[in-house]
Amino acid sequence: MTVPMIASYADAEAVFAKARNPEKGKPLKHTIYRLIKDGDEFVLTTSSKHVAKIYRNSTIEVFVPKYTPSWSLTTVLPQLVPVKVGWIGRKMAFMHTGKSILIPHYKGITFDMLTGECVSQPPTKLNVNKDKRKEYLRDLRVFKRQFETRLKLGVFNAIADQIMAEKPELWGLRVRWNNNLTMQMVAYQVQNKTISHEFAKILVGHTLSDYYNRTNLDHAAFRRTLNVALNNARDLMRIVYEIYEEPNDAEV
């Protein structure tokens, strides 16, 4: 069995210690991955997409990184951390490299990096409040129409020109879309069916940091950034809209 580069929290500390610029994280050579620090934890990321989080007790939480090449997950990821990726039907599944049983992904799935045991529990299935869900989807449609209108009017392109005129360091414009404050901002925009100038500027800045070239920006680029923001804030918005209800005792 191949020993991964980061097999514990101590390994993550040792790798990160070699970062030339800690704020940007430590690029992992010959891969699309980067190790960044988030408080006391370390995060394995590709661009704005978080793949895994390593905690001080040497446990690792694994996410489903959309739009990350499958070859990278199945071939490269096990060389970096002790996690293997597979599929059960069409559902992505994970297991520790020292084990042989795949576990279907669920939010919060976590492994002990040292023993290989899965130390998390699948979430309890909750009931869906259909009326609340309809309200959320209605607000989301209105919000997206607001976004498309501004897109067609060139609002985001104008903001991009203003930002580039300031000649910023583009990497500094990147946003952690899974940060609580950022998710709250996204949820606020949807709930109020508006797009504030502050949010638009953050959205455009992050898009610029992804492309590094003003001439490469098109409508699809802004839509991709918005989708990343909405996907990260989705669980928070379900809470804000009270979409899920605890199951009755008889249904547990």
Residues 52, 83: contact at Cβ < 8 Å?
yes
Domain layout of the chain by residue ranges:
9-112, 127-240
Instruction: Give the bridge partners for 61, in sequence order.
Output: 53, 110
Cα 133 from Cα 243, distance rounded (Å):
5
Q: Scanning the structure block, which residue is given the tokens 């299935």?
A: 125
Helix ranges (H only) for 192-243 are 197-211, 219-240
9 phi, psi to nearest 5 deg? -65, -40
Contact 97, 85 (CB under 8 A): no
Spatial CB neighbours of 244, under 8 Å, sequence gap ≥ 6: 126, 127, 128, 129, 238
Q: DSSP labels for 59-112?
A: EEEE---TTS-HHIIIIIHHHHSSEEEEEETTEEEEEETT----EE--TT-EEE
pTM above 0.75, yes or no: no
One-letter amino acid for residue 224 of the chain: R
17 exposure class (CB count in 10 Å sphere: 0-12, 13-18, 19+): exposed
pLDDT in tens, the chain (252 residues): 568 899 999 999 999 999 999 988 999 988 888 999 999 999 998 876 788 999 999 999 998 766 566 666 778 888 999 998 888 777 788 899 888 888 888 889 999 999 999 999 887 776 889 999 999 999 999 999 999 999 999 999 999 999 888 887 877 888 888 788 888 999 999 999 999 999 999 999 999 887 765 666 789 999 999 999 999 888 889 888 888 775 543 332
Q: Is 15 exposed, middle or buried (0-12, 13-18, 19+ CB in 10 A)?
A: middle
Judged by phi (left if over 0) then psi (alpha if -120 to 50, else beta), residue 48 lies in: alpha
